[in-house]
Structure 1
Amino acid sequence: MSKILRLLALGDLLLCGRYDALADAGQAKGVFNPLLALLNDADIVVGNLECPLTASDDPRADKLCLRGDPRYADVMAAVGVDVLSLANNHLFDHGLAGFRDTDRALTDAGIAALGAGATLEDASRPRILERDGQRIGFLAYCHDSTRPSDFATADRFGVAPLEAPAVLADVRRWRGEVDHLILLLHWGLEYSPLPTPEQVQLAHAAVDAGVGLILGHHSHMIQGIETYRGAVIAYSLGNCTDSDVDWQGPTRGFEARMTQTDREGLALTVELGAEGVRLVARHPLWLNDAGQPEPATGARAEAILAQLDQRSQALDDPDLTRHWENALVAKRVLGPLQYWWSQGSLWDKIRRFRLSQFKTLYLLVATFVRIRLSRSEARWSLFNPRNDTRPMPYGGGEEEDARQ
């Protein structure tokens, strides 16, 4: 190996909603203009394409479906995007036609896409780039907790499933064929500031098997970064592009609105060389009102980086499981009780008391027991911050995550 390569890692790329109007107005080429200095400084640019690029209008009936204009394939290629993961929960939102359109658009634009295909073998196959004497391998997978539309099988189109034994086997199979092996993982809980203990365990196992860089997506929130045995693990980079979405499906509609968290993102500059992988720079990003990701500045940049440092330090907690349990108890047990206690005087509470609230108390106790005693990874799904303004007990109504 000779030259040190600079890789720029981007977060989730959602190119729907407002981006359709920009494309129709001939302004799509300007979306990434504020990032051109970063993009031009990189030898390799990689990210996660969070929507199919298709004109097909065949949405699934059971979820919010995303769709971007195929013209954005050429836009991304023009600014230097080299590799995009398709292993996510939105790729098949518009069926097989949507996937095929996406694959064709990216291939025609010269972007290496991976993580999906006609069979499991095809979806799990790496993409290998050769740059200045180095071979850089990429593997991409999607976890079932993200509720993807389709997983690939031996005889079915789909995305590559994130199953630890298979992933580690792939890593061991391909590590000797490349100078650096990079994992692109669609995983974790949406709007969670931390990865789950199981994510950390899998990331460490992947590094032990030979991975040098892990880039996480899906949470739409920046999570911590750690260095483990010389490898760099970024659990979630947040969003690079995003938009408000109004979607009316066959059975129900959604109105997804961006929050400040949705506007915050992170790009990383990582060096790849004979000595391994080195994190060179963390670039806090902000999605402006024109839909352009731009480098955050001043107090905003300082706040994003301070939060990143805090979340990275939390990864050093030797008992991350206990940390998660305490966070869930505070959110799903103590939080609802505090909300109820804040609603009027004690006399008001007595006057409004209903027998049905005994059921709510029972559910709170059952939730507490589940959090403390269950050993299932599924318990972490209780963390669902999107609806924090509607506490479940005493507040009425069911919680619904419109971004699934």
Structure 2
Amino acid sequence: MKRIKVLLGVGLLATAGLVSAASLELLFAGDIMLDDGPGRALAAGRDPLAAFAPILARADYRIGNLECPVATSGAPLANKIYSFRAHPRVLAAVKGRFDAMALSNNHSGDYGQEGFVETMRHLETAGIRYFGGGNNLAAAHEPLWIERKGLRIAVLGYNEFKPRSFEAGASRPGIAWSEDSQVLSDIRAARRAGADLVIPFMHWGWEREPAPSARQRQLARRMIDAGAAAVVGGHPHVTQGAEIYKGRPIIYSLGNFVFDGFELPAARVGWLLNLSLDRQGVAAWHTVEARIDEEGLPSPAELAKTPCGKRGDRLPRLCRAGVPVDDLAPQTSPSNN
């Protein structure tokens, strides 16, 4: 454990040397599902986020994808293979570790609109902001606005994996659905509304596929062309590599962060993403590997090589806890046109 702390500390210092003191450290975590194994651990008085608490505490702002309703109401949808619902007590472990949660995923509506609305209410009570979902269509597409260290950042959340019945309507609660034209319009609107930086957080791709699809690659580039400073994704339950396009990072899938029930080894590995942001965009970024045990609880992997980069790189590098260990090494086939 001491070695992990030393490596992570060195990583933060190494990253700090690449960016100005005014940079904002923004963290993204992948799928956080607090039912089943993680829910039982919490009910037994154990903290599923304990191993990552020091890393989370050092960031200026922390965002995760809440892959379950947090409620006691509602009924599971009859046509879904897996339906999750976590007890509201789980938010005691999230509060103070995460500042905001994306609701834009294919499990937020597992217990219907009643469970979805109750989830938003519990998040509000806990002081945890949410985005990518709301009480109506306009609210679901409203950015998460982060104003820290002289920066105004808009984070947008979208889901494009069935069921589409979770989508918000004009007066119906639900999530933001990923329609290309709407996503690009929202990015441009956020820039017009005064965002220094816009970051879409996508729930996309095919489950258990280790590489992004052609559709993901195409949309990621279109989002950057529309003004996104970076693109971050999740949903496949495995990591999917990273690319740099026009100098801006694309991290296709962060994989799982807190999630049980997977026998596939790749589904028990995720990334925590750290973006160092300034007014010009992403000054540096790195990932820390999360190894997930049988209960679905993550721990940092001290020696794992994971993608990273800094402004000016044409290809992603490899780092250990944020410390570069290799020369430029592509994680996927990039396009810099």
* Alignment match, 1:265: 270
Check the 8 A contact 1:93/1:149 in 2, yes or no: no
* Alignment match, 2:201: 184
* Alignment match, 1:201: 218
**3-state DSSP of counterpart to 2:22:** coil
* Alignment match, 1:152: 168
* Alignment match, 2:311: none
* Alignment match, 1:6: 25
* Alignment match, 1:213: 230
* Residue 137 of structure 1: how far off its partner (Å): 0.9
* Alignment match, 1:278: 283
Mapped to 2, the partners of 1:311 and 1:74 lie a distance apart of: 40
* Alignment match, 2:35: 16
Cα 1:236–1:312, aligned 2, differ >3 Å: closer, same or farther?
farther
* Residue 297 of structure 1: how far off its partner (Å): 3.1
Mapped to 1, the partners of 2:296 and 2:215 lie a distance apart of: 34
Mapped to 2, the partners of 1:133 and 1:305 lie a distance apart of: 28
Q: 2:93 aligns with which of 45, 53, 75?
A: 75
Opposite residue 300 of structure 2, the aligned amino acid is P
Check the 8 A contact 1:268/1:279 in 2, yes or no: no
Mapped to 2, the partners of 1:112 and 1:38 lie a distance apart of: 20
Opposite residue 5 of structure 1, the aligned amino acid is L
Check the 8 A contact 1:23/1:69 in 2, yes or no: no
**3-state DSSP of counterpart to 1:270:** strand
* Residue 94 of structure 1: how far off its partner (Å): 0.3
Where do 1:20-99 residues align within 5 Å?
Answer: 20-27=39-46, 30-56=47-73, 58-63=75-80, 64-79=82-97, 81-99=98-116
* Residue 167 of structure 1: how far off its partner (Å): 0.8
Alignment RMSD (CA, Å): 2.4
Mapped to 1, the partners of 2:156 and 2:335 lie a distance apart of: 29
Cα 1:312–1:258, aligned 2, differ >3 Å: closer, same or farther?
farther
Which TM-score applies when normalising by structure 1? 0.69
Mapped to 2, the partners of 1:91 and 1:115 lie a distance apart of: 10
Cα 1:267–1:171, aligned 2, differ >3 Å: closer, same or farther?
same
Where do 1:101-250 residues align within 5 Å?
Answer: 101-143=118-160, 145-176=161-192, 177-244=194-261
Q: Deviations over 1:24-75 (max 9, x none)?
A: 2222xx2111112211111011111111111125100011101112122232
**3-state DSSP of counterpart to 1:233:** strand
Opposite residue 299 of structure 2, the aligned amino acid is E
Cα 1:26–1:313, aligned 2, differ >3 Å: closer, same or farther?
closer
Mapped to 1, the partners of 2:275 and 2:116 lie a distance apart of: 30
- Structure with greater helix percent: 1
Return 258-267 or 231-240, whichever deviates more: 258-267
The gaps in structure 2 that reach 5 residues or longer are 1-19, 309-316, 319-327
Q: Percent identity?
A: 35
Mapped to 1, the partners of 2:259 and 2:76 lie a distance apart of: 19
* Residue 147 of structure 1: how far off its partner (Å): 3.0
Mapped to 1, the partners of 2:218 and 2:226 lie a distance apart of: 12
Check the 8 A contact 1:106/1:112 in 2, yes or no: yes
* Residue 311 of structure 1: how far off its partner (Å): 10
* Residue 100 of structure 1: how far off its partner (Å): 1.3
Cα 1:264–1:2, aligned 2, differ >3 Å: closer, same or farther?
closer
Mapped to 2, the partners of 1:37 and 1:142 lie a distance apart of: 30
Return 178-187 or 308-317, whichever deviates more: 308-317
**3-state DSSP of counterpart to 1:279:** strand
Cα 1:290–1:163, aligned 2, differ >3 Å: closer, same or farther?
closer
Number of residue pairs matched by the alignment:
298
Q: Deviations over 1:256-284 (max 9, x none)?
A: x4432221001111101133113332211
Cα 1:113–1:221, aligned 2, differ >3 Å: closer, same or farther?
same
Mapped to 2, the partners of 1:207 and 1:213 lie a distance apart of: 7
Where do 1:226-375 residues align within 5 Å?
Answer: 226-244=243-261, 257-289=262-294, 291-298=296-303, 301-302=304-305, 313-316=331-334
Mapped to 2, the partners of 1:236 and 1:262 lie a distance apart of: 11
Mapped to 1, the partners of 2:134 and 2:183 lie a distance apart of: 16
Q: Deviations over 1:276-297 (max 9, x none)?
A: 1133322111013454211113
Q: Which has the larger radius of gyration?
A: 1
Mapped to 2, the partners of 1:312 and 1:47 lie a distance apart of: 26
**3-state DSSP of counterpart to 1:203:** helix
Opposite residue 186 of structure 1, the aligned amino acid is H
